[in-house]
Structure 1
Amino acid sequence: MKKLLLILLLLPLVGISGTKLDSLLQTYPTIKSDTEKIWILNQISVEYRISGSDSADFYAFKAVELAKRKNYIKAFPAIQLNIGLIYYNRGLYKKANQYFIKCTTTAERLNQPYWMAKGYTMIGEISRRLGNIKKAKKYFEMSMPIFKRLDALKDIAWGYIDLGNIYQGDEKTQIKYYMKAIEVAKEAREDLPLSDAYHILGNIYESKGDYDRALEYFKLCIHIEEENNFSYELAGTYSSIGEIYTKKKNYKMASSYLKKSKELADKYDALEVKEYYNRAMSNLMIEQGDYQAGYEFYLKYDSIDKIIFNEKKHQQIMELETSYETEKQQLVIDNLEKEKKLKNKERNLILGGLLTVVLFLIFLLNRFWVIRKQKLIIETQKEVVEEAHKEIKDSIQYAKRIQSAILPPTKLVKEYLKDSFILYKPKDVVAGDFYWMEHRDGKVLFAAADCTGHGVPGAMISVVCNNALNRSVREYGLTDPGLILDKTREIVVEEFERSEEDVQDGMDIALCNLNIKTNELFFAGANNNLILVKKGSTKLEDILKIKGNKQPIGLYSNPKPFTSHTIQLQKGDTFYIFTDGFPDQFGGPKGKKFMYKPFRRLLLEIHTKPMDEQLTILSKAFEDWRGNLEQIDDVCVIGVGV
């Protein structure tokens, strides 16, 4: 054990650029003690993880296997933390969290406060990334006193970074914690937390528009990350610098840095960095006017978490078909070879030739049955895939019927909003967008809502949010739009907190309450606005935009009460509420977004026409703009005339 401690103590003195890892790999075969081998295997995995190599998994699980075999539970917390960090770096937060929880519980049982605190820190960090700030703060505050008691400077530096991260929107407090982290990291000579603090400061100054100062911090990061071979962090820094050069319109430098980021992201297979890279490239292409390329990078960014349906079954079928073709080719080759032998020995080996023919016929018969069996297997596999596909389609159709049942019927809409239309275009069979209506004491409550995602996931969220709206009005008797949204948010967050998973989904919405007798309109919005076109309006400047609050219905770091707006409508006025699907649609001759200003101009042009005609014009305008491009989101537009 003394030999192991000496090696681990000398490692920081070894040169950079792989020599530390080389030293570990050279030392491992000379170690005779199994317990020392466990620690060395885990440290090799750590070094591979830091350098961005897939070999980190192999050595970590080799350490686990040896520790289990030798019942050396003392090493479990350190190994569990390392495996959690491997998954964390790849964006696999659920798997990572499972190992961090194992780390804390095992460390607590073994009375290992350091590893217990490390596990608390990473559970807090995952909670922060998933939007559960309250839980994140709780775990960070549990770990920090332990690190200070142990005088663990490196971890104290990380702790200050974690505390800074949870104060989003309070830049003064954030910068105070990050500067403390830099001070401690320098004292401890720990480059990774130092680089991380510099990177976050760069992000802060970038968000403030101080690009030159942001670049200073990012270039400090590059110096540290290149020197220490921090591949994962370096890929992210390259992307950040590329983003800044895009904003500074230095497209050549932006492209250069983003290319470096992609090379490292591909090597490391880091989902989060790849997602960041595709978003940055989309912005760069759009800034340069290449809207088609920008759209393609946007689709890559949007679909990074999607998987191909039943890929494994498809692969099995392909392998069977390949095997079948190989067997047929082998039959032809064997046939030619045997015919050649028969001709050469025909005179002297008649009996042997006859025997060969008989054996060949037996072989052909055998091959026939083998091939027939394989064809049956292929057909069966195809039937299984087709049946599974049919079941999924049937389930989606059933989900559509359920979602259609919660939408107000056209007859009800026309009964209470006689002069109105609803343009509703789901991207898929089922949608994340929905429209909603209730009637209370001569007042009509109605809304256009946009839930996280589209397709089946979006539809599932829409059912939860629709139910929350119904409860707010029917169960709690609310009619004020702002109070309804406050109560809806409360119900939705409460529903999601019941899940064992950290759910950060939610809804953007525009909600109206129209008094039919007095033409008084009350409005509140969550990230969505209301457009009012007064009677006689002829210019874009005449249009009134009533803004909703810039916060969603769901988990949010700094939630505030929703604001209700009151508008006295006049006869001849027209107003519209909508989700973002129409303005955000890519299309037109250059493949770019429709955008909000042209959308408002279109509403101004059609507001005097009958509602049925407005619906037709809007639907045609959307399809003409989209052309052959894919619809990227659900669309919902509601228009009401007074």
Structure 2
Amino acid sequence: MQRFVIIILLLLCHLSAKPQNKAVIDSLSDLLKSAKDTSKVLVLNQLAWNYRNSDLSQAVAYGEQSIALAQSIKYHRGLAEAYNMLGVVQRNIGNYSKATDFYFKALQVAEQYNITQQISYSNLNLGDIFKYQKNYEQAVLYINKAIQSFENIKDQRGIGYGYIRLGEVYQEQGLYQEALKAYEKSLEVRISLKDKSAIESTTNRLGNLYELMNDYPQAIKYLTQSLEIGSEINDLKSIAGTQADLSRLYFKQGDDDKAIEYAEQSLELGQKLDTRESIKRASQVLAEIYAKKENYKKAYYYQSILMEMKDSLFNQESFIRINNLQKNYETQRKQAEIDLLNKDKQIQNLILNILIGGLLLFLFLVFALYRINRHRKNVNQILNNQNKIIEKRNEDITASINYAKRIQDAYLPSSERIAKYLPEHFIFFKPRDIVSGDFYWFAEVEKKIVLAAVDCTGHGVPGAFMSLIGNNLLNQIVLNMGVTMPEVILSAMNAGVNEVLQQKQTQNRDSMDAALCVIDLKNKVLEFAGAKSPLLYIQNNQLYFIKGNKSTVGDIDREEVKIFVKHTIDISIPTTFYIFSDGFPDQFGGSENKKFLTKNLKELLFSIHQRPMKEQEILVQATFRDWIGDYSQIDDVTVIGVKV
């Protein structure tokens, strides 16, 4: 009788569930005091579910208690449900590997004991994981299996949840109309259930989808509904996320005041809850707004909050790749040094033996001559063997560096990819060694083209390590964070280099010179910011030269905050522009073995700027080759030219 009463009360709690509804949680807590065995498992599962969006540590604690109890009493249905609950909690935390583990455990138990509803939820959750892995075909397959199964057992709540997941998969693929249909089906089901928490979640997704479809009024309408319902049910995590979404929308519409208001509210609440996603989104909007207002102090402050999210700045995979390259290089270099020392020692022993033989020459002349002759043959064999070992070590070191070159070539953008957006361009890229401390970078973000030429401290293997750091920072700042303001990108890169190399703690002085252009072909505007590197552009047969800031990206500076200046150029008339590293101007050559100098490079580029880009590239290469002659190249060289 007691178990029957508890199940009825649990059903009522589930139907009216609100993630932070104190009355519901208090009721469940009271039930927990008297519940036993299977009833207690059900209560613990509901407590975990009700805490899944508000107090994640509490949700984990209740879920783990439920699993332990369900296993001890062999309550299989409750165990499968507990595994699925904990999978959802781990997904909300962002630990997808643990979530996957719990989902497979739930599916295994559900299939073993034919628990249909939990099989459905397990399939749905696995579809969700396939979505995170970008395996969309499998994601749609598993989610549709789950929806069909929910329809067979008339589980309306499961049907609504399934269509939400299906809409997310379509949305990620850019299939917005299919996503809209799925979300609307989910909303229809959830309204019929009067489930406010689920309605809030669905209206939030509809708002975000309409934003992607550039229908901002509809987006604001649904997000405002989501915020109202979230406030009503006191879902703090959802409130913080929706505030961040609204701030981004108002910023896109040019309403900076409302954008700041919502972003500051989201940031404050996100910091209280320690929800990194809302903190990141809110601080990004605030950084962009204050950068636009030229309030660089506040822009840098909010950009610094973004940089504190270490996992959002520099992923572990890049560290592993760098460390492996470095370890291989250091191991092989040390082994070569050991082999050389051994060779020296053997030669010393040989000399000693020869001296001893000389002292004994008078007594054992014939025997000694024979011994010396045979010993020389042995020594020659040893020397030949040692030379072969050294040659092999050198080949291995060279092979490792060639492998590093293949990695570096892989992350440099191809000319074909750049030509899709900038048909008239050339790139003259000539490393001094096998790998380069120079690199160039290209991306198209929100219909803007970002192009950079970067010169890192050093060349060869050390320079290549720095270039890998620079490339990863640009990927994070521009592609992941969506920043397209050149001065803000350089400031963020500076903070990133300081952090990755721990320059304040280690006094490391490595840095990067950079020329960074953002091209808005639609609005005919070129924005430039430089860290020591310049921009040269030509319009109406007139040459203009813009110097970069004196500050570099990275290195320890007296200034607390490095401010990079943005220069804006109207490109509504035909414009040819060039960015380059200092390798070409600083190269020694010519009849007097002097530097080529920036002045001569400017004259060269001006004299050829009206020629086709392919021809310009050939002329730049030929000039460099003729200038260097028989001298050695002293630095990596990068010259990029573009006609717009």
Structure 2 CA distance for aligned equivalents of residues 273 and 395 of structure 1: 40
Structure 1 CA distance for aligned equivalents of residues 580 and 274 of structure 2: 55
Change (3 A) 1:173 1:608: closer
Contact 1:108 1:116 in 2 (8 A): yes
Secondary structure in structure 1 of the residue aligned to 2:170: coil
Q: Counterpart in 2 of 1:110?
A: 113
Q: Counterpart in 1 of 2:200?
A: 195
Contact 1:420 1:611 in 2 (8 A): no
Structure 2 CA distance for aligned equivalents of residues 294 and 542 of structure 1: 35
State the shift of 1:130 in Å: 3.7
Contact 2:429 2:639 in 1 (8 A): yes
Equivalent AA in structure 1 for residue 208 of structure 2 = N
Q: Counterpart in 2 of 1:513?
A: none
Report matched runs for 1:181-260 at 5 Å.
181-260=186-265
**Residue deviations 1:589-638 (CA, integer Å, cap 9, x gap):** 9835868969999x9465899992399869x99xxxxxxxxxxxxx9955
**Residue deviations 1:263-298 (CA, integer Å, cap 9, x gap):** 432343333333323333332332332344434534
Q: Counterpart in 2 of 1:613?
A: 585
Query: What is the TM-score when the length of structure 2 is the normalising length?
Result: 0.53
Q: 1:5 aligns with which of 4, 7, 12?
A: 7
State the shift of 1:401 in Å: 3.9
Secondary structure in structure 2 of the residue aligned to 1:422: strand
Matched, 1:148 2:151: yes
Change (3 A) 1:114 1:391: closer
Contact 1:161 1:177 in 2 (8 A): yes
Contact 1:421 1:612 in 2 (8 A): no
Structure 2 CA distance for aligned equivalents of residues 541 and 188 of structure 1: 70
State the shift of 1:131 in Å: 2.5
Change (3 A) 1:36 1:542: farther
Q: Counterpart in 2 of 1:34?
A: 37
Q: 2:74 aligns with which of 71, 74, 83?
A: 71
Matched, 1:43 2:46: yes
State the shift of 1:34 in Å: 2.0
Structure 2 CA distance for aligned equivalents of residues 432 and 130 of structure 1: 30
Structure 2 CA distance for aligned equivalents of residues 430 and 215 of structure 1: 47
Q: Counterpart in 2 of 1:344?
A: none
Structure 2 CA distance for aligned equivalents of residues 96 and 25 of structure 1: 26
Q: Counterpart in 1 of 2:539?
A: 539
Contact 1:195 1:225 in 2 (8 A): yes
Change (3 A) 1:114 1:390: closer
Change (3 A) 1:74 1:160: closer
Change (3 A) 1:164 1:23: same
Matched, 1:23 2:23: no
Contact 2:579 2:639 in 1 (8 A): no
Secondary structure in structure 1 of the residue aligned to 2:51: helix
Q: Counterpart in 2 of 1:54?
A: 57
Q: 1:422 aligns with which of 417, 426, 429?
A: 429
Secondary structure in structure 2 of the residue aligned to 1:612: coil
Structure 1 CA distance for aligned equivalents of residues 577 and 262 of structure 2: 45
Deviates more, 1:590-599 or 1:98-107: 590-599
Contact 1:52 1:232 in 2 (8 A): no
Equivalent AA in structure 1 for residue 57 of structure 2 = D
State the shift of 1:220 in Å: 0.7
Change (3 A) 1:258 1:172: same
Larger RCO (CA within 8 A; separation ≥ 6):
1
Report matched runs for 1:463-612 at 5 Å.
538-539=538-539, 591=563, 604=576, 612=584
Change (3 A) 1:637 1:610: closer
Contact 1:218 1:241 in 2 (8 A): yes
Structure 2 CA distance for aligned equivalents of residues 214 and 114 of structure 1: 34
Structure 1 CA distance for aligned equivalents of residues 637 and 283 of structure 2: 28
Query: RMSD over aligned Cα, in angstroms?
Result: 5.1
Structure 1 CA distance for aligned equivalents of residues 26 and 108 of structure 2: 33
Structure 2 CA distance for aligned equivalents of residues 101 and 596 of structure 1: 55
Structure 2 CA distance for aligned equivalents of residues 608 and 246 of structure 1: 35
Contact 2:578 2:640 in 1 (8 A): no
Change (3 A) 1:613 1:106: same
State the shift of 1:2 in Å: 0.9
**Residue deviations 1:485-532 (CA, integer Å, cap 9, x gap):** xxxxxxxxxxxxxxxxxxxxxxxxxxxxxxxxxxxxxxxxxxxxxxxx
Contact 2:216 2:249 in 1 (8 A): yes
Contact 1:186 1:194 in 2 (8 A): yes
Q: Counterpart in 2 of 1:441?
A: none
Contact 1:195 1:221 in 2 (8 A): yes
Report matched runs for 1:157-172 at 5 Å.
157-168=160-171, 169-172=174-177
Secondary structure in structure 1 of the residue aligned to 2:585: helix
State the shift of 1:186 in Å: 0.8
State the shift of 1:236 in Å: 1.1
State the shift of 1:91 in Å: 1.8
* Aligned length, in residue pairs: 406
Secondary structure in structure 2 of the residue aligned to 1:111: coil
Q: 2:83 aligns with which of 72, 77, 80?
A: 80
Structure 2 CA distance for aligned equivalents of residues 26 and 592 of structure 1: 60
Secondary structure in structure 1 of the residue aligned to 2:243: helix
Contact 2:14 2:46 in 1 (8 A): no
Q: Counterpart in 2 of 1:473?
A: none
Report matched runs for 1:311-350 at 5 Å.
none
Structure 2 CA distance for aligned equivalents of residues 308 and 166 of structure 1: 26
**Residue deviations 1:174-230 (CA, integer Å, cap 9, x gap):** 222222221111112222332222112212332344333321111110122122222
Secondary structure in structure 2 of the residue aligned to 1:591: coil
State the shift of 1:5 in Å: 0.8
Q: Can you give the 5+ residue segments of structure 2 that lack an aligned partner in the other structure?
A: 315-321, 332-396, 410-425, 443-452, 455-463, 476-536, 544-551, 554-558, 588-596, 603-635
State, as a whole percentage, how many aligned pairs show the same letter: 20
Secondary structure in structure 2 of the residue aligned to 1:306: helix
State the shift of 1:90 in Å: 1.8
State the shift of 1:165 in Å: 2.3
Contact 1:191 1:224 in 2 (8 A): yes
Secondary structure in structure 1 of the residue aligned to 2:429: strand
Equivalent AA in structure 2 for residue 69 of structure 1 = S
Structure 2 CA distance for aligned equivalents of residues 188 and 592 of structure 1: 55
Q: Counterpart in 2 of 1:554?
A: none
**Residue deviations 1:51-79 (CA, integer Å, cap 9, x gap):** 34431111111222222333333322111
Matched, 1:272 2:277: yes
Q: Counterpart in 1 of 2:178?
A: 173
